[in-house]
Amino acid sequence: MFGLIFTSFAQNKIAGFSGDEPAKLIKYYPNPATTAINFEFIRGYGKAFNLQFYNFMGKKVLEVNSPSQLTNLSLNSFYRGVYIFRLSDKNGKIIDSGKFQVVK
């Protein structure tokens, strides 16, 4: 006789607490944004950090060296679309990244 095998696809780990994914260093809001967006360090702030912003085609559109703990970025020169940011340490290692949308 054939036995039935049941497989559970449920996640047993809670995201952010499993140790598999690194915790975010920076939060950004509002997302989507219209005129400005804030980047706020929630832990591990260092003056040697570097924030780089890329459009969806991969072209670097802005770089902020030594951002403050709360950085307000004006979006006046940004076109509507999706942008990627990278947070790097002084050695150039990417330590956080994310994407946000500009709607105008």
**Residue 58 pLDDT more than 60?**
yes
pLDDT tens, residue by residue, 3-52: 544 443 333 333 333 445 566 789 999 999 999 999 999 877 778 899 99
Q: What tokens does 78 get?
A: 């940004």
Residue given tokens 């990627």 in the structure block: 84
CATH superfamily to which 26-102 belongs: Immunoglobulins (2.60.40.10)
Give counts: helices (H), strands (E), the chain.
0, 7
Write down the pTM of the prediction. Answer: 0.75
pLDDT at residue 35, rounded to an integer: 97
Q: Please, what is the Cα angle at 73 between 85 and 48, to 5 degrees?
A: 60
The DSSP secondary-structure symbol of 33 reads: B
